[in-house]
Structure 1
Amino acid sequence: MAEKDSNDDRKSELEAFDDSKTGVKGLVDSGAAKVPRIFIHEQNKLEHKSDSGNCQNFTIPIIDFQDIDRDASARCEIIDKVRKACEKWGFFQVVNRGIPLNILEEIINAVRKFHELDADVKKEFYSRDETRSMIYNTNFDFYQASAANWRDSLYCVMAPPPPNPEELPAVCRSVMMDYSKEVMKFGLTVFELMSEALGLNSSHLKDLGCAERLYLIGHYYPACPEPELTLGLSKHTDSGFLTVVLQDQMGGLQVLHEDDWVDVEPVSGSLILNVGDMTQASLFS
Protein backbone atom coordinates (compact mmCIF):
# COMPACT_ATOMS: atom_id res chain seq x y z
CA MET A 1 0.00 0.00 0.00
CA ALA A 2 2.86 2.34 0.87
CA GLU A 3 4.44 1.71 -2.56
CA LYS A 4 1.17 2.53 -4.30
CA ASP A 5 0.85 5.75 -2.30
CA SER A 6 4.42 6.68 -3.21
CA ASN A 7 3.74 6.05 -6.91
CA ASP A 8 0.56 8.10 -6.71
CA ASP A 9 2.45 10.95 -5.04
CA ARG A 10 5.13 10.86 -7.73
CA LYS A 11 2.53 10.88 -10.49
CA SER A 12 0.85 13.89 -8.89
CA GLU A 13 4.18 15.71 -8.70
CA LEU A 14 4.92 14.96 -12.35
CA GLU A 15 1.50 16.15 -13.45
CA ALA A 16 1.72 19.32 -11.36
CA PHE A 17 5.10 20.16 -12.87
CA ASP A 18 3.90 19.44 -16.41
CA ASP A 19 0.72 21.46 -15.94
CA SER A 20 2.80 24.54 -15.16
CA LYS A 21 4.21 24.41 -18.73
CA THR A 22 7.23 26.41 -17.56
CA GLY A 23 9.81 23.61 -17.54
CA VAL A 24 12.97 23.38 -15.48
CA LYS A 25 13.73 27.00 -16.42
CA GLY A 26 10.52 27.93 -14.64
CA LEU A 27 11.77 26.28 -11.44
CA VAL A 28 15.00 28.24 -11.60
CA ASP A 29 13.21 31.50 -12.36
CA SER A 30 10.95 30.93 -9.35
CA GLY A 31 14.02 30.85 -7.10
CA ALA A 32 13.93 27.13 -6.26
CA ALA A 33 16.77 26.33 -3.83
CA LYS A 34 16.17 22.58 -3.81
CA VAL A 35 15.92 19.98 -6.54
CA PRO A 36 12.39 18.52 -6.54
CA ARG A 37 12.19 14.82 -5.73
CA ILE A 38 11.14 13.87 -9.27
CA PHE A 39 14.57 15.03 -10.53
CA ILE A 40 16.72 13.26 -7.94
CA HIS A 41 18.80 10.36 -9.27
CA GLU A 42 19.33 8.13 -6.24
CA GLN A 43 21.81 5.86 -8.03
CA ASN A 44 23.74 8.85 -9.29
CA LYS A 45 24.45 9.88 -5.69
CA LEU A 46 26.22 6.54 -5.20
CA GLU A 47 28.04 6.39 -8.52
CA HIS A 48 28.80 10.06 -9.07
CA LYS A 49 32.54 9.74 -8.49
CA SER A 50 33.11 6.47 -10.34
CA ASP A 51 31.21 7.65 -13.44
CA SER A 52 33.07 10.92 -13.77
CA GLY A 53 34.96 10.36 -17.00
CA ASN A 54 38.30 9.60 -15.42
CA CYS A 55 39.88 7.88 -18.41
CA GLN A 56 42.77 9.91 -19.79
CA ASN A 57 44.04 7.29 -22.25
CA PHE A 58 41.42 7.79 -24.97
CA THR A 59 39.99 10.57 -27.06
CA ILE A 60 37.34 10.22 -29.74
CA PRO A 61 38.68 10.49 -33.32
CA ILE A 62 38.88 13.96 -34.87
CA ILE A 63 38.56 13.88 -38.67
CA ASP A 64 39.37 16.82 -40.91
CA PHE A 65 37.05 16.95 -43.95
CA GLN A 66 38.85 19.86 -45.64
CA ASP A 67 40.54 17.76 -48.35
CA ILE A 68 37.59 15.47 -49.02
CA ASP A 69 37.30 16.58 -52.66
CA ARG A 70 40.95 17.43 -53.26
CA ASP A 71 41.96 14.13 -54.80
CA ALA A 72 41.25 10.40 -54.60
CA SER A 73 44.13 9.73 -52.22
CA ALA A 74 43.00 12.34 -49.67
CA ARG A 75 39.42 11.06 -49.85
CA CYS A 76 40.56 7.48 -49.28
CA GLU A 77 42.44 8.56 -46.14
CA ILE A 78 39.32 10.27 -44.79
CA ILE A 79 37.15 7.25 -45.64
CA ASP A 80 39.58 4.99 -43.78
CA LYS A 81 39.41 7.23 -40.70
CA VAL A 82 35.59 7.24 -40.85
CA ARG A 83 35.51 3.45 -41.10
CA LYS A 84 37.80 2.99 -38.10
CA ALA A 85 35.89 5.56 -36.04
CA CYS A 86 32.57 3.85 -36.77
CA GLU A 87 33.96 0.38 -36.01
CA LYS A 88 35.78 1.24 -32.79
CA TRP A 89 33.88 4.20 -31.34
CA GLY A 90 30.53 4.92 -32.96
CA PHE A 91 31.47 8.58 -32.50
CA PHE A 92 33.81 10.98 -34.24
CA GLN A 93 34.38 14.71 -34.29
CA VAL A 94 34.49 16.58 -37.60
CA VAL A 95 36.31 19.81 -38.37
CA ASN A 96 36.27 21.79 -41.61
CA ARG A 97 32.97 20.22 -42.55
CA GLY A 98 31.62 23.02 -44.76
CA ILE A 99 28.78 24.33 -42.58
CA PRO A 100 29.34 28.08 -42.12
CA LEU A 101 30.49 28.89 -38.60
CA ASN A 102 28.05 31.80 -38.36
CA ILE A 103 25.11 29.42 -38.85
CA LEU A 104 26.38 27.13 -36.08
CA GLU A 105 26.72 30.11 -33.76
CA GLU A 106 23.32 31.46 -34.75
CA ILE A 107 21.49 28.17 -34.11
CA ILE A 108 23.04 27.85 -30.64
CA ASN A 109 22.11 31.44 -29.81
CA ALA A 110 18.61 31.07 -31.26
CA VAL A 111 17.83 27.93 -29.24
CA ARG A 112 19.13 29.65 -26.11
CA LYS A 113 16.97 32.71 -26.83
CA PHE A 114 13.90 30.53 -27.19
CA HIS A 115 14.46 28.83 -23.85
CA GLU A 116 15.02 32.19 -22.20
CA LEU A 117 11.81 33.73 -23.55
CA ASP A 118 9.09 34.80 -21.15
CA ALA A 119 7.24 31.75 -19.81
CA ASP A 120 3.90 32.92 -21.21
CA VAL A 121 5.36 33.01 -24.73
CA LYS A 122 6.80 29.49 -24.46
CA LYS A 123 3.64 27.96 -22.99
CA GLU A 124 1.90 27.89 -26.35
CA PHE A 125 4.56 25.45 -27.58
CA TYR A 126 4.60 23.22 -24.47
CA SER A 127 3.10 19.85 -25.36
CA ARG A 128 3.52 16.08 -25.30
CA ASP A 129 1.56 15.60 -28.51
CA GLU A 130 4.14 13.89 -30.75
CA THR A 131 1.98 14.43 -33.84
CA ARG A 132 2.88 18.12 -33.76
CA SER A 133 5.80 19.12 -35.96
CA MET A 134 7.28 21.30 -33.22
CA ILE A 135 7.01 20.95 -29.44
CA TYR A 136 8.76 22.15 -26.29
CA ASN A 137 8.77 20.25 -23.00
CA THR A 138 10.86 18.73 -20.24
CA ASN A 139 12.14 15.20 -21.00
CA PHE A 140 10.46 13.17 -23.73
CA ASP A 141 10.22 10.24 -21.27
CA PHE A 142 9.09 12.37 -18.33
CA TYR A 143 6.44 9.89 -17.14
CA GLN A 144 8.41 6.72 -17.86
CA ALA A 145 11.89 7.46 -16.47
CA SER A 146 12.71 6.62 -12.84
CA ALA A 147 14.02 10.18 -12.44
CA ALA A 148 13.69 13.22 -14.68
CA ASN A 149 16.71 15.01 -16.13
CA TRP A 150 17.41 18.65 -15.38
CA ARG A 151 16.77 20.06 -18.85
CA ASP A 152 14.18 21.50 -21.20
CA SER A 153 14.07 20.68 -24.91
CA LEU A 154 12.81 22.07 -28.19
CA TYR A 155 11.94 19.34 -30.73
CA CYS A 156 11.13 19.82 -34.39
CA VAL A 157 10.71 17.51 -37.39
CA MET A 158 12.53 19.43 -40.13
CA ALA A 159 12.25 16.78 -42.87
CA PRO A 160 10.30 15.20 -44.41
CA PRO A 161 8.32 17.26 -45.03
CA PRO A 162 9.72 20.61 -43.86
CA PRO A 163 7.53 22.35 -41.28
CA ASN A 164 5.38 25.35 -42.02
CA PRO A 165 7.67 28.23 -40.96
CA GLU A 166 4.74 29.84 -39.15
CA GLU A 167 4.67 26.85 -36.77
CA LEU A 168 8.19 27.61 -35.57
CA PRO A 169 8.99 30.16 -32.84
CA ALA A 170 9.76 33.54 -34.38
CA VAL A 171 12.94 33.91 -32.33
CA CYS A 172 14.61 30.93 -34.03
CA ARG A 173 12.51 30.34 -37.17
CA SER A 174 14.86 31.63 -39.84
CA VAL A 175 18.06 30.04 -38.56
CA MET A 176 16.36 26.70 -37.91
CA MET A 177 15.47 26.55 -41.60
CA ASP A 178 18.96 27.66 -42.72
CA TYR A 179 20.72 25.30 -40.32
CA SER A 180 18.58 22.35 -41.39
CA LYS A 181 19.45 22.86 -45.05
CA GLU A 182 23.16 22.85 -44.22
CA VAL A 183 22.89 19.74 -42.01
CA MET A 184 21.02 17.84 -44.72
CA LYS A 185 23.84 18.59 -47.17
CA PHE A 186 26.43 17.60 -44.60
CA GLY A 187 24.51 14.40 -43.84
CA LEU A 188 24.64 13.40 -47.49
CA THR A 189 28.42 13.78 -47.43
CA VAL A 190 28.71 11.60 -44.32
CA PHE A 191 26.47 8.88 -45.76
CA GLU A 192 28.55 8.89 -48.95
CA LEU A 193 31.72 8.34 -46.91
CA MET A 194 30.11 5.61 -44.83
CA SER A 195 28.88 3.88 -47.98
CA GLU A 196 32.34 3.98 -49.53
CA ALA A 197 33.85 2.77 -46.24
CA LEU A 198 31.73 -0.35 -46.68
CA GLY A 199 32.98 -0.83 -50.24
CA LEU A 200 29.62 0.19 -51.67
CA ASN A 201 28.49 2.77 -54.19
CA SER A 202 28.66 6.24 -52.63
CA SER A 203 24.89 6.68 -53.01
CA HIS A 204 24.00 3.38 -51.33
CA LEU A 205 22.78 4.76 -47.97
CA LYS A 206 21.12 7.70 -49.67
CA ASP A 207 19.22 5.32 -51.96
CA LEU A 208 18.04 3.42 -48.89
CA GLY A 209 16.45 6.64 -47.63
CA CYS A 210 18.87 7.15 -44.75
CA ALA A 211 19.38 10.84 -45.51
CA GLU A 212 15.73 11.88 -45.82
CA ARG A 213 14.77 12.56 -42.20
CA LEU A 214 15.99 15.34 -39.93
CA TYR A 215 14.88 15.77 -36.32
CA LEU A 216 16.23 18.85 -34.59
CA ILE A 217 16.50 18.91 -30.80
CA GLY A 218 17.71 21.95 -28.86
CA HIS A 219 18.47 21.09 -25.22
CA TYR A 220 18.77 23.71 -22.48
CA TYR A 221 20.34 23.04 -19.09
CA PRO A 222 19.44 25.71 -16.52
CA ALA A 223 21.73 26.31 -13.55
CA CYS A 224 21.00 23.71 -10.88
CA PRO A 225 20.96 24.48 -7.11
CA GLU A 226 22.03 20.91 -6.20
CA PRO A 227 23.89 19.46 -9.20
CA GLU A 228 25.14 16.47 -7.22
CA LEU A 229 21.58 15.13 -7.00
CA THR A 230 20.54 15.12 -10.64
CA LEU A 231 21.74 14.88 -14.24
CA GLY A 232 21.25 16.96 -17.36
CA LEU A 233 21.39 13.83 -19.51
CA SER A 234 21.39 10.22 -18.30
CA LYS A 235 23.75 7.64 -19.76
CA HIS A 236 22.05 6.08 -22.77
CA THR A 237 22.48 4.73 -26.27
CA ASP A 238 20.99 6.27 -29.40
CA SER A 239 19.19 4.30 -32.11
CA GLY A 240 19.16 7.02 -34.76
CA PHE A 241 21.21 6.77 -37.93
CA LEU A 242 23.00 10.05 -37.40
CA THR A 243 23.02 12.55 -34.56
CA VAL A 244 24.77 15.87 -34.95
CA VAL A 245 25.73 17.49 -31.67
CA LEU A 246 26.85 21.09 -31.52
CA GLN A 247 29.65 21.48 -29.03
CA ASP A 248 30.64 24.74 -27.37
CA GLN A 249 33.53 25.51 -25.05
CA MET A 250 31.72 24.23 -21.93
CA GLY A 251 32.10 20.55 -22.81
CA GLY A 252 30.32 17.98 -20.65
CA LEU A 253 29.77 15.20 -23.19
CA GLN A 254 31.13 11.74 -22.31
CA VAL A 255 31.35 8.59 -24.42
CA LEU A 256 31.60 5.04 -23.05
CA HIS A 257 34.59 3.31 -24.65
CA GLU A 258 36.05 -0.02 -23.51
CA ASP A 259 34.18 0.25 -20.18
CA ASP A 260 35.55 3.74 -19.45
CA TRP A 261 33.77 7.08 -19.67
CA VAL A 262 35.82 9.33 -21.92
CA ASP A 263 35.46 13.11 -21.80
CA VAL A 264 34.94 14.62 -25.24
CA GLU A 265 37.14 17.69 -25.35
CA PRO A 266 35.34 20.53 -27.16
CA VAL A 267 36.85 21.81 -30.39
CA SER A 268 35.52 25.20 -31.36
CA GLY A 269 33.22 25.05 -34.39
CA SER A 270 33.31 21.26 -34.64
CA LEU A 271 30.49 18.76 -35.01
CA ILE A 272 30.25 15.46 -33.14
CA LEU A 273 28.65 12.57 -35.00
CA ASN A 274 26.96 9.69 -33.25
CA VAL A 275 26.63 6.80 -35.68
CA GLY A 276 23.78 5.27 -33.67
CA ASP A 277 22.96 1.71 -32.64
CA MET A 278 21.01 0.78 -35.75
CA THR A 279 23.73 1.82 -38.20
CA GLN A 280 26.52 0.41 -36.07
CA ALA A 281 24.80 -2.94 -35.61
CA SER A 282 23.63 -3.44 -39.17
CA LEU A 283 26.50 -1.98 -41.15
CA PHE A 284 29.66 -2.25 -39.07
CA SER A 285 29.29 -5.50 -37.15
Structure 2
Amino acid sequence: MRIRYALILVFRLSLSTQKAFCHRTHIGLSNVYSGLRCKKSRKSFQMSKWKYRGDDTDHLAKVDKIRRSKDKLKKHNRDESQFELDKDKWPTFENAFTARVVEVHKRYAFISPEPTPGEIDTRDVWLGTVARRHLQSRRGERNNIVVGDIVLCRKTGEGDMQMSTELPCAVIEHMQPRRSRIARRDPMVMEREHVLASNVDQLLVVGSYANPGVKWGLIDRYLVLAAEQDIPAIIVINKEDLLPRESDEFRKKCDEEIAYFRKLGYTVFSLQVENQTFDDPK
Protein backbone atom coordinates (compact mmCIF):
# COMPACT_ATOMS: atom_id res chain seq x y z
CA MET A 1 0.00 0.00 0.00
CA ARG A 2 2.86 2.39 0.77
CA ILE A 3 4.38 1.83 -2.65
CA ARG A 4 1.06 2.56 -4.36
CA TYR A 5 0.59 5.86 -2.49
CA ALA A 6 4.20 6.79 -3.22
CA LEU A 7 3.66 6.21 -6.96
CA ILE A 8 0.52 8.35 -6.93
CA LEU A 9 2.43 11.19 -5.37
CA VAL A 10 5.40 10.82 -7.75
CA PHE A 11 3.31 11.24 -10.90
CA ARG A 12 1.57 14.32 -9.52
CA LEU A 13 4.84 16.10 -8.80
CA SER A 14 7.09 17.85 -11.29
CA LEU A 15 10.06 16.04 -12.82
CA SER A 16 12.63 17.75 -10.60
CA THR A 17 10.57 17.05 -7.49
CA GLN A 18 10.12 13.41 -8.63
CA LYS A 19 13.87 12.86 -8.61
CA ALA A 20 14.29 14.31 -5.13
CA PHE A 21 11.30 12.40 -3.80
CA CYS A 22 12.43 9.07 -5.27
CA HIS A 23 15.91 9.60 -3.86
CA ARG A 24 14.55 10.14 -0.36
CA THR A 25 12.02 7.30 -0.50
CA HIS A 26 14.53 4.90 -2.15
CA ILE A 27 12.24 4.39 -5.17
CA GLY A 28 14.12 4.63 -8.48
CA LEU A 29 12.48 6.41 -11.41
CA SER A 30 13.70 3.66 -13.74
CA ASN A 31 11.86 1.07 -11.67
CA VAL A 32 8.71 3.17 -11.75
CA TYR A 33 8.70 3.66 -15.53
CA SER A 34 9.77 0.08 -16.30
CA GLY A 35 6.90 -1.13 -14.13
CA LEU A 36 4.51 0.95 -16.20
CA ARG A 37 5.85 -0.39 -19.51
CA CYS A 38 5.82 -4.05 -18.47
CA LYS A 39 2.20 -5.01 -19.07
CA LYS A 40 2.68 -8.56 -17.89
CA SER A 41 4.08 -7.69 -14.44
CA ARG A 42 1.93 -7.83 -11.33
CA LYS A 43 2.75 -4.24 -10.41
CA SER A 44 1.65 -3.08 -13.85
CA PHE A 45 -1.63 -4.94 -13.45
CA GLN A 46 -2.27 -3.32 -10.08
CA MET A 47 -1.46 0.15 -11.44
CA SER A 48 -3.72 -0.34 -14.44
CA LYS A 49 -6.55 -1.22 -12.07
CA TRP A 50 -5.77 1.84 -10.01
CA LYS A 51 -5.89 4.11 -13.08
CA TYR A 52 -9.54 3.33 -13.74
CA ARG A 53 -10.82 3.74 -10.20
CA GLY A 54 -13.00 6.76 -9.69
CA ASP A 55 -15.85 8.40 -11.56
CA ASP A 56 -14.11 8.89 -14.93
CA THR A 57 -16.43 6.54 -16.82
CA ASP A 58 -15.81 8.23 -20.19
CA HIS A 59 -12.10 7.50 -19.98
CA LEU A 60 -12.79 3.91 -18.97
CA ALA A 61 -15.10 3.43 -21.96
CA LYS A 62 -12.49 4.89 -24.29
CA VAL A 63 -9.74 2.58 -23.03
CA ASP A 64 -12.06 -0.41 -23.24
CA LYS A 65 -12.83 0.46 -26.86
CA ILE A 66 -9.11 0.63 -27.68
CA ARG A 67 -8.52 -2.78 -26.09
CA ARG A 68 -11.37 -4.33 -28.06
CA SER A 69 -9.97 -2.90 -31.31
CA LYS A 70 -6.55 -4.40 -30.52
CA ASP A 71 -8.12 -7.81 -29.90
CA LYS A 72 -9.96 -7.44 -33.21
CA LEU A 73 -6.71 -6.68 -35.03
CA LYS A 74 -5.09 -9.77 -33.52
CA LYS A 75 -7.95 -11.89 -34.83
CA HIS A 76 -7.64 -10.31 -38.28
CA ASN A 77 -3.92 -10.99 -38.30
CA ARG A 78 -4.69 -14.66 -37.74
CA ASP A 79 -7.14 -14.58 -40.64
CA GLU A 80 -4.51 -12.92 -42.83
CA SER A 81 -2.27 -15.98 -42.72
CA GLN A 82 -5.17 -18.07 -44.01
CA PHE A 83 -5.85 -15.93 -47.08
CA GLU A 84 -2.56 -16.83 -48.78
CA LEU A 85 -2.62 -20.61 -48.96
CA ASP A 86 -0.84 -23.24 -51.06
CA LYS A 87 -3.04 -24.57 -53.82
CA ASP A 88 -2.79 -28.16 -52.57
CA LYS A 89 -4.22 -26.98 -49.22
CA TRP A 90 -7.22 -25.18 -50.68
CA PRO A 91 -10.50 -26.42 -49.19
CA THR A 92 -13.03 -28.11 -51.43
CA PHE A 93 -16.59 -26.84 -51.49
CA GLU A 94 -19.47 -26.61 -53.91
CA ASN A 95 -19.32 -24.11 -56.81
CA ALA A 96 -15.57 -23.49 -56.33
CA PHE A 97 -13.20 -22.76 -59.23
CA THR A 98 -9.68 -21.48 -59.87
CA ALA A 99 -9.32 -18.08 -61.54
CA ARG A 100 -6.77 -15.45 -62.49
CA VAL A 101 -7.14 -11.77 -61.53
CA VAL A 102 -7.13 -9.69 -64.74
CA GLU A 103 -8.12 -6.24 -63.42
CA VAL A 104 -8.31 -4.70 -59.94
CA HIS A 105 -10.42 -1.84 -58.59
CA LYS A 106 -10.88 -0.46 -55.09
CA ARG A 107 -13.85 -2.61 -54.02
CA TYR A 108 -13.84 -5.42 -56.56
CA ALA A 109 -11.79 -7.17 -59.24
CA PHE A 110 -12.38 -8.79 -62.61
CA ILE A 111 -11.35 -12.44 -62.74
CA SER A 112 -11.25 -15.09 -65.46
CA PRO A 113 -11.48 -18.85 -64.80
CA GLU A 114 -8.25 -20.81 -65.20
CA PRO A 115 -9.22 -24.51 -65.21
CA THR A 116 -5.77 -25.49 -66.51
CA PRO A 117 -2.61 -23.64 -65.38
CA GLY A 118 -1.68 -21.05 -68.00
CA GLU A 119 -4.92 -21.36 -69.98
CA ILE A 120 -7.02 -18.25 -69.30
CA ASP A 121 -10.02 -17.19 -71.34
CA THR A 122 -10.21 -13.43 -70.73
CA ARG A 123 -13.49 -13.31 -72.67
CA ASP A 124 -15.09 -15.13 -69.73
CA VAL A 125 -15.04 -12.35 -67.14
CA TRP A 126 -16.45 -12.55 -63.60
CA LEU A 127 -16.90 -9.88 -60.95
CA GLY A 128 -15.17 -10.89 -57.73
CA THR A 129 -14.66 -9.50 -54.22
CA VAL A 130 -12.37 -10.68 -51.45
CA ALA A 131 -14.16 -12.50 -48.61
CA ARG A 132 -15.07 -10.06 -45.84
CA ARG A 133 -13.06 -11.87 -43.18
CA HIS A 134 -9.88 -10.94 -45.07
CA LEU A 135 -10.68 -7.30 -45.85
CA GLN A 136 -9.78 -5.81 -42.45
CA SER A 137 -6.59 -7.79 -41.91
CA ARG A 138 -3.48 -5.70 -41.45
CA ARG A 139 -1.20 -6.34 -44.40
CA GLY A 140 2.14 -4.92 -45.38
CA GLU A 141 0.87 -4.39 -48.91
CA ARG A 142 -1.40 -1.80 -50.44
CA ASN A 143 -3.83 -4.29 -52.06
CA ASN A 144 -5.06 -7.72 -51.02
CA ILE A 145 -4.95 -8.92 -54.62
CA VAL A 146 -3.27 -7.68 -57.79
CA VAL A 147 -3.35 -8.49 -61.49
CA GLY A 148 -1.91 -11.95 -62.07
CA ASP A 149 -2.88 -13.50 -58.75
CA ILE A 150 -4.20 -17.08 -58.84
CA VAL A 151 -7.22 -17.30 -56.56
CA LEU A 152 -9.82 -19.77 -55.32
CA CYS A 153 -13.33 -18.44 -55.96
CA ARG A 154 -16.81 -19.43 -54.89
CA LYS A 155 -19.82 -18.68 -57.07
CA THR A 156 -22.31 -16.33 -55.47
CA GLY A 157 -25.35 -14.25 -56.31
CA GLU A 158 -25.60 -10.58 -57.21
CA GLY A 159 -27.10 -9.81 -53.81
CA ASP A 160 -23.87 -10.73 -52.01
CA MET A 161 -21.92 -8.22 -54.13
CA GLN A 162 -24.01 -5.22 -52.98
CA MET A 163 -24.00 -3.84 -56.51
CA SER A 164 -25.95 -4.25 -59.73
CA THR A 165 -24.13 -6.08 -62.50
CA GLU A 166 -24.82 -8.31 -65.47
CA LEU A 167 -21.59 -10.26 -64.94
CA PRO A 168 -21.48 -13.54 -63.02
CA CYS A 169 -20.27 -12.98 -59.45
CA ALA A 170 -17.86 -14.79 -57.16
CA VAL A 171 -16.21 -14.42 -53.74
CA ILE A 172 -12.42 -14.79 -53.54
CA GLU A 173 -11.68 -17.17 -50.66
CA HIS A 174 -7.93 -17.83 -50.96
CA MET A 175 -4.88 -16.78 -52.96
CA GLN A 176 -2.00 -18.95 -54.08
CA PRO A 177 1.46 -17.68 -52.99
CA ARG A 178 3.04 -15.52 -55.70
CA ARG A 179 5.99 -16.99 -57.55
CA SER A 180 7.08 -13.55 -58.83
CA ARG A 181 5.93 -9.95 -58.54
CA ILE A 182 6.60 -6.44 -59.75
CA ALA A 183 6.42 -4.08 -56.78
CA ARG A 184 7.44 -0.67 -55.48
CA ARG A 185 7.09 1.36 -52.30
CA ASP A 186 3.67 2.87 -51.76
CA PRO A 187 4.03 6.63 -52.44
CA MET A 188 1.40 7.34 -49.77
CA VAL A 189 2.84 5.09 -47.02
CA MET A 190 6.56 4.41 -47.50
CA GLU A 191 6.56 1.50 -45.03
CA ARG A 192 4.01 -0.33 -47.18
CA GLU A 193 4.61 -2.25 -50.39
CA HIS A 194 2.60 -1.60 -53.54
CA VAL A 195 2.55 -4.73 -55.71
CA LEU A 196 1.73 -3.89 -59.34
CA ALA A 197 1.53 -7.40 -60.82
CA SER A 198 2.28 -10.99 -59.82
CA ASN A 199 3.12 -14.37 -61.37
CA VAL A 200 4.75 -12.58 -64.32
CA ASP A 201 6.35 -14.79 -67.00
CA GLN A 202 7.55 -12.04 -69.37
CA LEU A 203 7.94 -8.28 -68.89
CA LEU A 204 7.47 -5.99 -71.90
CA VAL A 205 8.67 -2.44 -71.22
CA VAL A 206 7.06 -0.10 -73.77
CA GLY A 207 8.07 3.51 -74.41
CA SER A 208 7.94 6.02 -77.23
CA TYR A 209 10.47 8.38 -78.76
CA ALA A 210 8.07 11.33 -78.54
CA ASN A 211 4.55 12.32 -77.44
CA PRO A 212 5.31 11.36 -74.68
CA GLY A 213 9.09 11.26 -74.68
CA VAL A 214 10.99 8.18 -73.58
CA LYS A 215 12.13 8.02 -69.94
CA TRP A 216 15.29 5.94 -69.87
CA GLY A 217 15.49 6.08 -66.07
CA LEU A 218 12.03 4.55 -65.74
CA ILE A 219 13.04 1.75 -68.11
CA ASP A 220 16.09 1.12 -65.89
CA ARG A 221 13.86 0.78 -62.83
CA TYR A 222 11.61 -1.80 -64.44
CA LEU A 223 14.60 -3.77 -65.69
CA VAL A 224 16.01 -3.84 -62.15
CA LEU A 225 12.68 -5.08 -60.77
CA ALA A 226 12.53 -7.79 -63.43
CA ALA A 227 16.12 -8.88 -62.79
CA GLU A 228 15.43 -9.12 -59.06
CA GLN A 229 12.56 -11.56 -59.71
CA ASP A 230 14.35 -13.44 -62.57
CA ILE A 231 11.74 -12.27 -65.08
CA PRO A 232 12.96 -11.99 -68.72
CA ALA A 233 12.39 -8.51 -70.12
CA ILE A 234 12.01 -7.04 -73.60
CA ILE A 235 12.20 -3.32 -74.45
CA VAL A 236 9.96 -1.76 -77.11
CA ILE A 237 10.44 1.86 -78.26
CA ASN A 238 7.57 3.00 -80.48
CA LYS A 239 6.90 6.00 -82.79
CA GLU A 240 10.12 5.69 -84.73
CA ASP A 241 8.56 7.84 -87.47
CA LEU A 242 8.76 10.87 -85.14
CA LEU A 243 12.54 10.68 -84.78
CA PRO A 244 13.36 12.85 -87.87
CA ARG A 245 11.59 15.76 -86.19
CA GLU A 246 13.87 15.60 -83.15
CA SER A 247 17.32 17.14 -82.77
CA ASP A 248 20.54 15.39 -83.70
CA GLU A 249 21.56 15.34 -80.04
CA PHE A 250 18.32 13.55 -79.06
CA ARG A 251 18.68 10.93 -81.80
CA LYS A 252 22.29 10.31 -80.78
CA LYS A 253 21.20 9.86 -77.15
CA CYS A 254 18.55 7.32 -78.19
CA ASP A 255 21.04 5.34 -80.28
CA GLU A 256 23.47 5.22 -77.36
CA GLU A 257 20.82 4.03 -74.91
CA ILE A 258 19.54 1.30 -77.24
CA ALA A 259 23.07 0.13 -77.97
CA TYR A 260 23.76 0.02 -74.22
CA PHE A 261 20.70 -2.15 -73.50
CA ARG A 262 21.56 -4.53 -76.33
CA LYS A 263 25.11 -4.80 -75.02
CA LEU A 264 23.65 -5.90 -71.68
CA GLY A 265 21.80 -8.71 -73.48
CA TYR A 266 18.31 -7.24 -73.73
CA THR A 267 16.19 -7.49 -76.86
CA VAL A 268 15.21 -3.99 -78.01
CA PHE A 269 12.54 -3.28 -80.64
CA SER A 270 12.67 0.14 -82.28
CA LEU A 271 9.57 0.38 -84.44
CA GLN A 272 6.60 2.21 -85.87
CA VAL A 273 3.49 0.19 -85.11
CA GLU A 274 1.53 1.21 -88.22
CA ASN A 275 4.15 -0.08 -90.67
CA GLN A 276 5.92 -2.79 -88.66
CA THR A 277 6.03 -6.46 -89.69
CA PHE A 278 7.37 -7.65 -86.29
CA ASP A 279 9.62 -10.25 -87.90
CA ASP A 280 12.88 -9.35 -86.19
CA PRO A 281 14.07 -6.53 -83.95
CA LYS A 282 16.01 -3.87 -85.78
Where on the TM-score scale, by shorter chain, does this alignment land: which range?
A: under 0.3
User: More strand per residue: 1 or 2?
Assistant: 2
Q: TM-score, normalised by structure 2?
A: 0.21
- The structure with the larger Rg is 2
Which structure has the higher relative contact order (CA within 8 Å, separation 6+)? 1
Q: TM-score, normalised by structure 1?
A: 0.21
